[in-house]
Structure 1
Amino acid sequence: MAGGIWTTQNKRRPGAYINTKGTSQPTPDTSLGRTLLIGSGDLNWGPKGIVEVDSTTDFRAVLGTDLTDTRLIPLRETLKGALTVLYLNGNDGERAAVADEKLPWTFTAKYPGTVGNTLTVTVEKDPDDETLITVKTLFGTTLVDEQVVRTTTASGLESNAYVDVTFTGDATDPVGDAEATDGGADFTFEAGKAKLEALAASTSYTLAGGTTTSVDVTEMLNDVLATENYNVVTTAGYAADSNLHALVATAIERLRDDEGYKVRAVVPLMEGAPKYDHEAVSVVSNGVELVDGTILTATQAAGWFAGASASADAGKSLTYVAYPDAVSAVPKRTNEQTIAALNAGEIVFTTLTDGSVVVEQDINSLVTISKDKLKAFQKNRVIRTLDAIATDTMDVFHTQFIGKVNNDSTGRSLFKANRVSYLKDLSDASVINPVDVADLTVEPGEDRDSILVTLAITPIDAMEKLYMTITVN
């Protein structure tokens, strides 16, 4: 899929090349609410690469710990705003395992890492019926799985979220004919049955050999940024002076301009660092205190803003949106400090007189205004609108027009009608002002297989300032 911006009509690949400047049905934005979070902690568990999680996820199973762990504070905060988080996990190594000749199974940890060495499997016989076997999996001291099989149905023992189970039976040839047993499982090794019968009433087996090989997430970053389905990426959780923030910001600019992916980034502020000065990068400058007394730094609080930004559609502004469970901004900014931060293109959390903590203004880091990037481009709601139009237009062109529709007056009229319909939907939803048909043109391009589209729109912003004069008679 080709895309990006264009200066001259010299592109080689078929695709949609769209510039955003100051002067059939649309494809749904399936990335809405999806945030890419680059994991910053060594969790020693979970799959290497992307772990897709939401509020219903069993975090202990997939990441080896729960959201109360301080290492997952950025993830917890991101999930307060996002619908789905793509957690980039830099975990690799060897999987813990146990293979005891007394058992007809081998048990292997689901994922690499030293956390696998805390897994225990117990095999218990029913005191009233020794053909009934209860197999339990413990994560530390917590029971996470329990299954009951018979000595004649041992092959029916299933893997679970923590342990992969392999039925081994016995190394000898099967004795007698294999017969279907309860649950449809086949027990083909009579000697394996004898193993279970020979076990003590209760035996325990601790997995061992799990090792962690930490992976530098920067090695995976470019591939993940370009291939995963998300609309906001954040480096929340990394120290403010980490070079990862600048790497991500640069990658986002490249993806937008060179490849047409309208994704955005949220990073924490590093005092004294060069300005990002880009409409797709938002910079969080302070943190918050939560109702339980937890103090979140700017880099941790950046997670919530990233999640909320990913979930906000083109018709929503985050200006004065409250930070969940927050009771104070940390540090609090004076009026002069707040104005200076806003002028520098920073996200500021502000404590209101009612005790709530809100986003002062939903802006990005753009501070240099030009004829192609007007003052309106500093507003994230405007950028979300422009991104939504560009992304939908690209998707429609790719799926409905490339290679399918003739590049003649009829074909160009079809494309224009499609876009007029989409823009009317945006207008009806109060995302943009009504578009006159004359504001959209679809003309032949310089090559016989290209078209040139020009569009003038006016995005709608939210009310933010009240100027009022009261006259007393």
Structure 2
Amino acid sequence: MAGGTWKTQNKRRPGAYINVKGVAQPTSDSNLGRTLLLSNAQLNWGKKGIIELHNDSNFKELLGTTIDDPKLMALKQVLKGAETVLFLNTNDGVRASVSDPALPWKFEATYPGTKGNDISISVEKDPNNTTNITVTTLFGTEIIDEQTITTTTGNNLLANDYVTPTMTEQDNGQAKLEAISAAGSYQLKDGTTTPDKTEDLMSDAMETENYAVVTTAGYPEDSNIHALLVTTVKRLRDTEGMKIRGIIPASSSINQANYEGISVVANGLTLNDGTDLSVTNATGYFAGLSSSVDGSASLTYTEVEDAISANPRLNNDKTIAALNAGQIVFTTRPGQRVVIEQDINSLTKFTKDKPKSFSKNKVLRVLDEIATDTEQVFEQSYLGKVGNNAAGRDLFKANRVSYLQGLNDSNVIQDFSATDITVNPGEDSDAVVVDLAVKPVDAMEKLYVTINVG
């Protein structure tokens, strides 16, 4: 718990620092809410690559299992805060299938992987109406599709989310339909899983998808994937101009990221039902939440949903050490409340170009939003459309002044004036140079109080 008395305003932890002493009687298109989750879960089902998921998604259909599967714990935590999760599925291999001399169809699983071998097809002729045939698809023991066709419309059997039927013998199909008797069950087989490596898929996904935050939540803390994510985020932010942020668990594979675009989670959580979340799964919670907040808000002291304790609980010295190392810390407060101690990133070595304020995620989100909006507006409304003369540059400046004034009015930035931005011609005839000074508004985090007792 942070708090106590103060002599100078030099406290590291957010909290209230209060002195009591006696004295003489006086006379603010967005990628908001979108998280890219790099997963190591071998699910043996689903499309290879990015699968877009929401809280109401049919996870069994898309991933072959429910959201409560321990393999999807990181995903479950990300979805507590994110509106959309871009799940990077590494599944690949051979699709299960079944064909039988008695059937006019071949059935093939929608996706590759061994989970396709859990699919079976039941074909039953109605004893009271022998022209009717019911075809049922089961995934394990669960019925997931049922269609009734007639012996004259067998080629109208439709695909469902799990299998695709194909007429194998158009000429002889009619005879086979009429020859079906009673009921039969047919199990798909020979489905295999040959997963791709996340490392082979992540670069393309990170460069081409639209998202605010990317995370390696769910990977073991000692995995080299975390260091690879840091390297890729740095390249995309600094070279490609993609203002994305990465969230990783504290790990032995990377000692100190020291980068404003990377946040590192230090500890895990204990949930209300007694479940202990490892640091890597708790990282998913922070990643989802972080993707859904903009520059108008800070996550400092945000209460963690469904948690009763940090795990492990860090004492005051260890908490300060983690904060000084640029790490996100979960802290247990009175009443079994758990909060995010401080919304910071891993930047700990400050320079003229990257001052201490850059270590605050709220400030970084403001700067990223301004950069992204300016880029998008220029590309969509000015690039190739407006002349690079005084009138055209004034038009662009007016647009930016209006936007920034809106941020100022919303208390996202402060003390903005139209003189804080200049738009000038560059060295080439088609170049425009913008110089902009802004002051992001940080959140209140430390309270220093003196109570005078008369």
Q: TM-score, normalised by structure 2?
A: 0.92
Contact 2:96-2:190 within 8 A present in 1 as well: yes
| Deviation at residue 219 of structure 1 after TM alignment | 0.9
Q: Pick from 412, 423, 431 the counterpart of residue 442 of structure 1.
A: 423
Q: Pick from 411, 417, 437 the counterpart of residue 398 of structure 2.
A: 417
| Deviation at residue 128 of structure 1 after TM alignment | 1.9
| Deviation at residue 340 of structure 1 after TM alignment | 1.0
Contact 2:226-2:254 within 8 A present in 1 as well: no
Contact 1:124-1:134 within 8 A present in 2 as well: yes
Contact 1:284-1:302 within 8 A present in 2 as well: yes
In structure 2, give the amino acid aligned to 1:298: V
Alignment of 1:103-122 (within 5 A): 103-122=103-122
Q: 2:244 aligned with 1:250, yes or no?
A: no
Aligned to 1:334: 315
Contact 2:222-2:253 within 8 A present in 1 as well: no
Contact 1:132-1:148 within 8 A present in 2 as well: yes
Contact 1:424-1:434 within 8 A present in 2 as well: no
| Deviation at residue 53 of structure 1 after TM alignment | 0.7
| Deviation at residue 271 of structure 1 after TM alignment | 4.7
Q: Does the C-alpha gap of structure 1 residues 228 and 273 become closer, same or farther in structure 2, counting only changes over 3 Å?
A: closer
| Deviation at residue 60 of structure 1 after TM alignment | 0.8
CA displacement, residues 337-378 of structure 1 (integer Å, 9 cap, x when unaligned): 111111110000011102111100000000011111111111
Contact 1:47-1:62 within 8 A present in 2 as well: yes
Q: 2:191 aligned with 1:214, yes or no?
A: no
Aligned to 1:392: 373
Partner Cα separation in structure 1 for residue 417 and residue 347 of structure 2? 29
Alignment of 1:183-222 (within 5 A): 191-222=172-203
Q: 2:61 aligned with 1:80, yes or no?
A: no
| Deviation at residue 101 of structure 1 after TM alignment | 2.5
Aligned to 1:162: 162
Contact 2:167-2:173 within 8 A present in 1 as well: no
Aligned to 1:55: 55
Q: 2:446 aligned with 1:465, yes or no?
A: yes
Partner Cα separation in structure 2 for residue 339 and residue 281 of structure 1? 19
Partner Cα separation in structure 1 for residue 254 and residue 244 of structure 2? 23
Aligned to 2:5: none
Alignment of 1:111-150 (within 5 A): 111-150=111-150
Alignment of 1:301-450 (within 5 A): 301-450=282-431
Partner Cα separation in structure 2 for residue 93 and residue 56 of structure 1? 28
Aligned to 2:246: 265
Identity of paired residues, percent? 54
In structure 2, give the amino acid aligned to 1:35: T
Aligned to 1:9: none
Range with greater deviation from structure 2 (298-307 or 126-135): 126-135
Partner Cα separation in structure 1 for residue 187 and residue 72 of structure 2? 27
| Deviation at residue 431 of structure 1 after TM alignment | 1.0
Partner Cα separation in structure 2 for residue 237 and residue 275 of structure 1? 20
| Deviation at residue 336 of structure 1 after TM alignment | 1.3
Please, which runs of 5 or more residues in structure 2 have no aligned partner? 1-28
Contact 2:227-2:253 within 8 A present in 1 as well: no
Aligned to 1:40: 40
CA displacement, residues 25-48 of structure 1 (integer Å, 9 cap, x when unaligned): xxx21x111111111111111111
Q: Secondary structure at the match of 2:117?
A: helix
| Deviation at residue 171 of structure 1 after TM alignment | 4.7
Partner Cα separation in structure 2 for residue 470 and residue 128 of structure 1? 89
Range with greater deviation from structure 2 (198-207 or 357-366): 198-207
Contact 1:122-1:204 within 8 A present in 2 as well: yes
Range with greater deviation from structure 2 (79-88 or 263-272): 263-272
Aligned to 2:95: 95
In structure 2, give the amino acid aligned to 1:462: A
| Deviation at residue 62 of structure 1 after TM alignment | 1.0
| Deviation at residue 104 of structure 1 after TM alignment | 2.1
Aligned to 2:8: none
| Deviation at residue 273 of structure 1 after TM alignment | 4.0
CA displacement, residues 370-403 of structure 1 (integer Å, 9 cap, x when unaligned): 1111111111011111000000000111111111
Contact 1:52-1:84 within 8 A present in 2 as well: yes
Partner Cα separation in structure 1 for residue 180 and residue 415 of structure 2? 77
In structure 2, give the amino acid aligned to 1:291: N
Contact 1:393-1:419 within 8 A present in 2 as well: yes
CA displacement, residues 419-466 of structure 1 (integer Å, 9 cap, x when unaligned): 011112212222111410110100111111111101111111221111
| Deviation at residue 214 of structure 1 after TM alignment | 1.6
| Structure with greater strand percent | 2
Q: TM-score, normalised by structure 1?
A: 0.88
Aligned to 1:274: 255
Aligned pair count? Answer: 426
Q: Secondary structure at the match of 1:122?
A: strand
Partner Cα separation in structure 2 for residue 448 and residue 297 of structure 1? 56
Partner Cα separation in structure 1 for residue 417 and residue 310 of structure 2? 44
Partner Cα separation in structure 2 for residue 455 and residue 273 of structure 1? 35
Aligned to 2:272: 291
